[in-house]
Structure 1
Amino acid sequence: MANGKILRQLLKAGTLGDHAAFRRASEAIIDEERQKQHHLLANDLEQILYGGDMRVEAARNPQLSADVPADKERGVPLLDVRPPKRSLEEIILPPSSAAMIEEILEEHRRAEVLRSYGMKPSGKVIFFGPPGCGKTLAAEIIAFELDRPLAIVRIDALVSSFLGETAANLRKVFEFIAKHQLVVLFDEFDAIGKERGDSTEHGELRRVVNAVLQMMDSYDGQSIILAATNHENLLDSAIWRRFDDAIEFPLPDQKQLSALLQLKLRGIRRQFELDDADLLKDFQGKSGADVERVARRAVKRMILRNQEFLTIKELRSALVREGLRKH
């Protein structure tokens, strides 16, 4: 049974209609049940909590889904709008990067205070670093913490084979996000923001980059624009100046790897310590996404073999199966 503090938070949030606080308290209850090994109950509670998110969002803003623009050539939506599900506790970052995320959240939570002094919260932020290090997750977390829908721009739909259509698609996206209060993620941003001086690129891409710069400059909507790239060296130098902040998402160090394993193996009984030097050496150079995949595979094996405890052997076997460790 959930402890009294969490139950009080849950009832208070429900009474006040505070959707974000209600979700956080509900997730704390789910986490508590999972730590007690009540996995079936935890799964049922997750289904109840997250299954209703779309209905809540639709009731709050019925025009949101109807307004999503589509590519003229293929008719596919240019954005994927979804309810965020993961909170700030779900990400492990270096202290400097984590502090910048916290600053963004504080600026938007206290936006009226800033505006009273003639200032605005950061509205355009770029994330950069290797794949799997938390850029997309951070966008979802910002959306969750600010209680906004997450809109992921579909780069595959945005980039058209028709001359000039990519810029037209970009215009549709910016017009849409200006009308709504969203957290918008342009993933793989280098696909539309490459260096214009690259001699290998054709004139159409240079026109697209120019269109991106113009739209970023003129944008004045309420949505927060986030861009993510795994190849920051490919971006046009002028792109960086359009963002209020740039946040790095590097590969985790040993301390962060230990914290990631703690997070991904919470509620799982194990026969090893998470700061084991040999274990952390096995994960050195791996991303947060790698750690999550390995932990999930190892726990599945433990469950299917009816083992009471997880061992380092299962983790190392999962590393091999994921192609992340030599035999």
Structure 2
Amino acid sequence: MANAKLLRQLIKTGAEGNQEAFKRVSEQIIQDERAKNHHLLANDLEKVLYGRRNSSTPSLSALSDRLPKDKERDLPLLQIKESVRRLEDVVLSDENTSLLNEILQEHHRAETLKSHGLYPVDRLLFCGPPGCGKTLTAEVLASELGLPLAIVRIDSVVSSLLGETAANLRQVFDFISSVPMVVLFDEFDALAKERADNAEHGELKRVVNAFLQMLDAYEGKSLLVAATNHERILDPAIWRRFDEVLVFENPNLEQLRRLLSIKLRGLRREFDIDDSRIIGLFKGMSHADVERVLRRAAKDMVLAGKEFLSERHLQSAIKREDARRARTQRN
């Protein structure tokens, strides 16, 4: 917690109604908490001090009514959802956690940066295998910034009609430029595949060119997040269009321990989460794999009329997950 001197200054400036001094002392307290690695507290204090950014954002229903649509099939080009996941709900590497905190701090203090001719990052690229937290991290960003999450529907954006995919992308960019949101381009490689690939037809190459031009020209209010499981096939020109690149991987043993602690919170069990043997059962799994196994184990426990989750439930669920993975690989 903040030291006594800063707390005295905070109360004194607040009692005197000195808003500028109150803000300076508050910022010192936030910096002090962040230096102690109390990032969750620091982020919450920043949101209280600077206000949530969604004050000018229309309601979810109002946004949904305004969504642009594909002319070919009359399908909405985006899906709007409210995010409730918080920073403590996601388990990331130390490097990604640090980057995420920096990004949040930049956006919480956007006005301070702008007063010095600087701006918070607004283009992020998430890379890594499926199920390792890319989509969840985008949701966390939206929740922590108090913004809606807009997911670009690739199935609607990509059209069979000549020139319509680029036209759909233009509609998307026009929409997200006017309203503050966190915008997720999932399966991003479908729009940004390498143009040098001779197997691809000219229309896709024109789409990539158009997308690059729109990214270059983008000056909107939204934070753009592109996520891909296939970063190796991205066009080389894509990479420099993003301010930060976060690489996601399967969780290591320490991250697995933290993940189990979060997912099993409030569930009575017969084993200790810190037991290395229990953690080792999940070695090599992705975040999504772990969550699926624990959900199956919990269902097994409930349907069997048991009150405590046991190692047997975990092993049974893991066996089913292994069988599922084997079927997937055969197909």
The TM-score, its normalising length taken from structure 1, stands at 0.80
Matching residue of 1:243: 242
Offset of residue 222 of structure 1: 0.3
Q: Does 2:251 match 1:252?
A: yes
Offset of residue 67 of structure 1: 1.6
| 4+ aligned runs moved over 2 Å, structure 1 | 56-63, 275-282, 322-326
Offset of residue 280 of structure 1: 2.4
CA distance in 2 between partners of 1:234 and 1:65 (Å) = 33
Matches within 5 A, 1:253-292: 253-292=252-291
Matching residue of 1:230: 229
Counterpart secondary structure, 2:281: helix
Q: Does 2:162 match 1:146?
A: no
Q: How many equivalent pairs are there?
A: 271
Q: Judge conservation of contact 1:57–1:83 (CA < 8 Å) in 2.
A: no
Change (3 A) 1:305 1:82: same
Give structure 2 stretches of 5+ with no counterpart. 1-54, 327-331
Q: Report the AA paired with residue 115 of structure 1.
A: K
Q: Does 2:193 match 1:194?
A: yes
Counterpart secondary structure, 1:323: helix
CA distance in 2 between partners of 1:275 and 1:195 (Å) = 44
CA distance in 2 between partners of 1:170 and 1:61 (Å) = 21
Matching residue of 1:17: none
Q: Report the AA paired with residue 248 of structure 2.
A: F
CA distance in 2 between partners of 1:244 and 1:301 (Å) = 45
Matching residue of 1:312: 311
Matching residue of 1:99: 98
Q: Report the AA paired with residue 245 of structure 1.
A: E
Aligned-pair identity in percent equals: 55
CA distance in 2 between partners of 1:263 and 1:182 (Å) = 27
Change (3 A) 1:130 1:61: closer
CA distance in 1 between partners of 2:80 and 2:59 (Å) = 14
Q: Judge conservation of contact 2:192–2:238 (CA < 8 Å) in 1.
A: yes
Change (3 A) 1:149 1:221: same
RMSD: 1.8
Matching residue of 2:181: 182
Q: Judge conservation of contact 1:130–1:230 (CA < 8 Å) in 2.
A: yes
Matching residue of 2:218: 219
The structure with more radius of gyration: 2
Q: Does 2:69 match 1:70?
A: yes
CA distance in 1 between partners of 2:307 and 2:174 (Å) = 54
The TM-score, its normalising length taken from structure 2, stands at 0.79
Bigger drift between 85-94 and 315-324 goes to 315-324
